[in-house]
Homo-oligomer: A and B are copies of this chain.
Amino acid sequence: MGAPSLTPIPAKKYCPKEPPDSCRLFYPEDPIKIVRGQGQYLYDEQGAEYLDCINNVAHVGHCHPLVVQAAHGQNQVLNTNSRYLHDNIVDYAQRLSETLPQKLCVFYFLNSGSEANDLALRLARQYTGHWDVVVLDHAYHGHLSSLIDISPYKFRDLDGQKEWVHVAPLPDTYRGLYREDHPNPAGAYAGEVKRVVNSVQEKGRKIAAFFVESLPSVAGQVIPPAGYFPEVAEHIHRAGGLFVADEIQVGFGRVGKHFWAFQLQGEDFVPDIVTMGKSIGNGHPVACVATTQAVARAFEATGVEYFNTFGGSPVSCAVGLAVLHVLEKEQLQAHAASVGSVLMELLRQQKAKHPIIGDVRGIGLFIGVDLIKDEATREPATEEANYMVSRLKENYILLSTDGPWRNVLKFKPPMCFSVDNARHVVAKMDTILTDMEEKVRSCETLRLQP
């Protein structure tokens, strides 16, 4: 062994040329350098305060002192893997179980929503002995190989659809197959899933799972009609598959009325697997899969252990517990319900005033504003949505777009977002929309004057 040296290779510049960029910044033309966060506010290096309407990861507010302190308290004492006994993991599982239907009583802890969905896929395949997956159109379930395969939002642009993946129509009552004028959109969309299931079975293939975000987000902040999930679950269960509710973006009280968004689908509806991420750790990398004993036992029966180096560490669990504690202490679920109601009402008033707003949909602090070029065709107003986002940024409001045409303004702010914040954003939107309309009118006037 030669003489050891700490830095064997001489220091050098980061990269000879501009590095490639696969992670896109917000406002790529004029990115923001954020240096501080507190509650629903972010601050740039000049000290300018931005209102954050989109970061659902900072669930109980950026840098919440109780969450930060919980992490620090545990980080100082012990941060190791789950090969040893520790109270935090038991307490956390216990506390999470209190928010879920009794059937969902086994918990796996991981580092990211993607890891959670990948494990859900493994669990479903192991339990059912089947391989295929049904997903909704435009869905996104994570950045791992296995999840890109079940995310039409991603695989459409990459190597295409795997033979074991089957896409059902998005239950979007504004832009989809069955709309607000349909007598039973829940049944009609569930019937579409049944049709997909039948065609899969006709090919001799077998369904392991139906994956769905309880409220599809990148698909355009879609609110599936109530009763859709229970009917879909019937079709999926009859085919021997499991129902996986992806709550990564929408769980933990965001919808206000319930703690979990899947509960909007019917009081008695219980998925077979629920996946959690993002908001669960308020920014600390935590995720969880909750499932039934039957599913867990089938997985255990393989004899192959599941071990996750960081998942379920005393620190991750302490942070998760602190988030639940703050949610309860500050009554943020009720807060989301009341602030969300005000915001929805204000946005509906805007819809009545500005024809570019085609649809305002949402529940609690999960809201989409669908911008259109034309009321009859509902043609997406993509450029206008982009323009809105950039004008709002000039007004120190961080909002972004989603949906297949990126024409849906999305609200999913930290849960401490206030009624004043709602009034402020909507007033700015009103000003910008009025301004846009005036510009259009003056252009038309110009065109009338040759």
Contact for A293 among B20, B90, B157, CB less than 8 A: B20
Q: Is A327 an interface residue (CB 8 A)?
A: yes
Bound-complex Cα distance A17 to B82 (A): 21
Q: B146 contacts A37, CB within 8 Å?
A: no
Q: Is A226 an interface residue (CB 8 A)?
A: no
Q: Which of A300-308, A347-355, A438-446 contacts B (4 or more CB under 8 A)?
A: A300-308
> In angstroms, how far is the closest chain B Cβ from the Cβ of A405?
17
Nearest residue, chain B, Cβ from A296: B20
Q: B86 contacts A23, CB within 8 Å?
A: no
Nearest residue, chain B, Cβ from A248: B309
Which chain B residues lie closer than 8 Å to A316 at the CB level? Answer: 285
Q: Is A256 an interface residue (CB 8 A)?
A: yes
Which chain B residues lie closer than 8 Å to A146 at the CB level? Answer: 144-146
Q: Is A24 an interface residue (CB 8 A)?
A: yes
Q: B4 contacts A333, CB within 8 Å?
A: yes
Which chain B residues lie closer than 8 Å to A8 at the CB level? Answer: 99, 258-259, 263
Which chain B residues lie closer than 8 Å to A5 at the CB level? Answer: 333-334
Query: Considering the complex, which residues of chain A in the window 30-67 have a beta carbon less than 8 Å from any beta carbon of chain B?
Result: 31-37, 42, 55, 57-58, 62-63, 65
Count the copies. 2
Bound-complex Cα distance A338 to B19 (A): 38
Contact with B along A62-93 (1 / 0, CB 8 A): 11010010011001111111111110001001
Nearest residue, chain B, Cβ from A2: B257
Number of interface residues of A (CB under 8 A): 120
Known contacts A143-B308, A157-B304; A76/B105 CB under 8 A: no
Q: Is A275 an interface residue (CB 8 A)?
A: no
Bound-complex Cα distance A239 to B257 (A): 58
Q: B108 contacts A22, CB within 8 Å?
A: yes
Contact for A277 among B282, B309, B312, B327, CB less than 8 A: B309
Bound-complex Cα distance A235 to B352 (A): 67
Which chain B residues lie closer than 8 Å to A448 at the CB level? Answer: none
Q: A283 contacts B315, CB within 8 Å?
A: yes
Q: Is A363 an interface residue (CB 8 A)?
A: yes
> In angstroms, how far is the closest chain B Cβ from the Cβ of A367?
13
Q: A75 contacts B71, CB within 8 Å?
A: yes
Contact with B along A379-420 (1 / 0, CB 8 A): 000000000000000000000000000000000000000000
Known contacts A1-B341, A15-B106, A146-B144; A300/B22 CB under 8 A: yes
Q: Is A435 an interface residue (CB 8 A)?
A: no
Nearest residue, chain B, Cβ from A256: B4
Q: B15 contacts A328, CB within 8 Å?
A: no
Contact for A71 among B35, B71, B257, CB less than 8 A: B71
